[in-house]
Structures are given as C-alpha cells and as structure tokens.
Amino acid sequence: MDNVIVVASGKGGTGKSTVCICLSVALVKKGKKVLLIDCDCGMRGLDIMLDVEQDILFDASDAVCGNCSFGEAIYKSPHNPNLYLMAAPFDAENELSPSVFRQLVDSVRNNFDYIIIDSPAGIGSGFVTASAPADKALIVTNAEPTSVRGGLKVRRKLEALGVENQRLVINRFDRKMFRKLRFYEDLDAVIDAAQTQLIALVPFSYDISVIMQRGAAGLEDSAALQVFDRLADRLDGRRVPLLIH
C-alpha cells in the first residue's frame, strides 16, 4: 500500500496532532484500518488524545531495540475500532534514525489501509525521520505569515527528501479574524504563498479543541468532523468539493 502519510508543519502548534487524530477517526469511520504513529519523540501526545496513555508499555524504540515485538508496541484505541497507535519514545534521546524508522514502517505497512505519521515541528532530525517512510505529506498551516513560511520550508525539505506528493491543510481558520487581520487578501493568497495545493480548510472549532484535550471519544458525532470526512474522501481519490465554512 502507498498510503503512508506524514503530517508536518514548520511552526509548532499549527494543529498537526489534531489533524492526525481527526483524519484517522474519519478514515476509520469509512471502514479503513489505520495505524497512527507518533513521531514527536520526547514530546508525544497522541496517547493522551486517544485515551491509551495508561496502557503504553512499549514505544517505537522498544520495537526496534527488540524489547518487544512490533505488534506489542501497537495499541488499539478503546473508542475507535480499527484505529491503532504506536507511541513515540518518551525520551528525546531515543529518537530513531530515518533508515531504522523506514524499516519499521515497511514491516507493518501491508497490515493497514493507512499509516498516519505525526511529525514534530520544524525541519530537524525528528522531521527527517518522520518523513523517511512517507508516500505523501499533509502540510498543516494556519493562515498567518510565520506559519505559512514554515510550511513552505517544510515543502522544500520534503521535496529534497523525495516526498513530492504534498497537500496543504489550513487549520484553525476563522473567517472573521482572517478578514480583520488582513495578513492576506483572500484564501487564494495564502495558497499562493504556501505554493501547495489545498486539500482541506479546517475551521477554528471549540468542539475540536475541547475534544482533543479529553480524548478522541465522542469525536464521531462532531460537526467539525465533516471537514475531515471530506479530507478522507479526497485522500482516497474521490472528487468531493472542499467544505468552506
């Protein structure tokens, strides 16, 4: 399968982990089997968001060091059947190398329909490792110049790493605020600056921010998930229109 997707951004806090969780839940709802891999070594968070924090005994570094089998480092979401998580190493010094991480992903890729990799911010070694096995990338940005510039840097670095298939997710979009701030004339200007084709526009949503702090349980019924529903369809190659709030 060629559905290994890295979710990256230049700047921190743009919503990478949020996009990873919401997209995974949307894919699972469509009957896909999804493995989420937290690659934010030393700063992992998906285990909390998925409500499996207490269950984690082994992480990705244990799997490659032989402390456990690969299967033992994969945890099932209690709330979303068909959604699985591999946690990032708790300590930053246990960061995996790009080649080791690629081997790890290659050894499990045929067991899943999608593998979604949550990258750390920036274009440093953690990002390079997260991108190593990726077939495609989602670049998550907010509609503000520092965030867009970070996204553009990520785009160029991904190209250099051979990940050519890239799409843009504009997250935490608030139309009123966007008009007031006037950083950009319109959304097209954001897309032009990011130089990447838009695949989803995610609104600022109180629902999303609350849900993400309490775990993904209940996310299934949120209206905010409609955007991710379409994102999942578009990734699956279906031609559905963008949902613009």
Ligand X SMILES: Nc1ncnc2c1ncn2[C@@H]1O[C@H](COP(=O)(O)OP(=O)(O)O)[C@@H](O)[C@H]1O
Q: Which residues bind ligand X (CB under 6 A)?
A: 9, 12-18, 171-172, 202, 204-205, 208-209, 212
Q: Which is nearer to ligand X, 80 or 171 (CB)?
A: 171
Least distance (Å) from Mg ion to the CB of residue 241? 29
Q: Which is nearer to ligand X, 172 or 230 (CB)?
A: 172
44 binds, among Mg ion, ligand X, none (CB under 5 to 8 A by kind): none
Q: What is the rounded CA–CA span in Å between residue 232 and residue 211?
A: 19
Which residues, in sequence order, are CB contacts of 8 under 8 Å at separation 6+? 16, 119, 127, 130, 131, 137, 138, 139, 140, 154, 158
Least distance (Å) from ligand X to the CB of residue 103? 25
Least distance (Å) from ligand X to the CB of residue 126? 12
Q: Which is nearer to ligand X, 64 or 230 (CB)?
A: 230
Task: Provide the mask over 150-189, with x wherever binding to Mg ion is found by CB under 5 A and - wherever it is not.
Answer: ----------------------------------------
- HSE at residue 185, side-chain half, CA atoms within 13 A, is 5
Q: Alpha helices of the chain — where are they, by DSSP H?
A: 16-29, 46-49, 60-65, 98-108, 125-131, 145-160, 175-181, 187-194, 206-214, 225-235
Q: In the 8-state DSSP scheme, what is residue 121?
A: S
Q: Which is nearer to ligand X, 133 or 203 (CB)?
A: 203
209 binds, among Mg ion, ligand X, none (CB under 5 to 8 A by kind): ligand X
Q: What angle do CA 228, 212, 182 make, to 5 degrees?
A: 65
Q: Which is nearer to ligand X, 64 or 228 (CB)?
A: 228
Q: Which is nearer to Mg ion, 17 or 61 (CB)?
A: 17
Q: In the 8-state DSSP scheme, what is residue 220?
A: G
Q: What is the rounded CA–CA span in Å between residue 119 and residue 125?
A: 10
Residues 8-67 that bind Mg ion (CB under 5 A): 16-17
Q: Which is nearer to ligand X, 71 or 145 (CB)?
A: 145
Sign of the CA dihedral running 51, 54, 57, 61: positive
71 binds, among ligand X, Mg ion, none (CB under 5 to 8 A by kind): none
Other CB atoms within a 10 A radius of the CB of residue 129 amount to 24
Least distance (Å) from ligand X to the CB of residue 171? 5
Q: What is the rounded CA–CA span in Å between residue 56 and residue 69?
A: 14
229 alpha carbon, distance to own chain's centre = 15
Which residues, in sequence order, are CB contacts of 66 under 8 Å at separation 6+? none
Size of the residue set binding Mg ion (CB under 5 A): 2
172 binds, among Mg ion, ligand X, none (CB under 5 to 8 A by kind): ligand X
119 binds, among ligand X, Mg ion, none (CB under 5 to 8 A by kind): none
Provide the binding-site residues for Mg ion, judged by CB under 5 A.
16-17
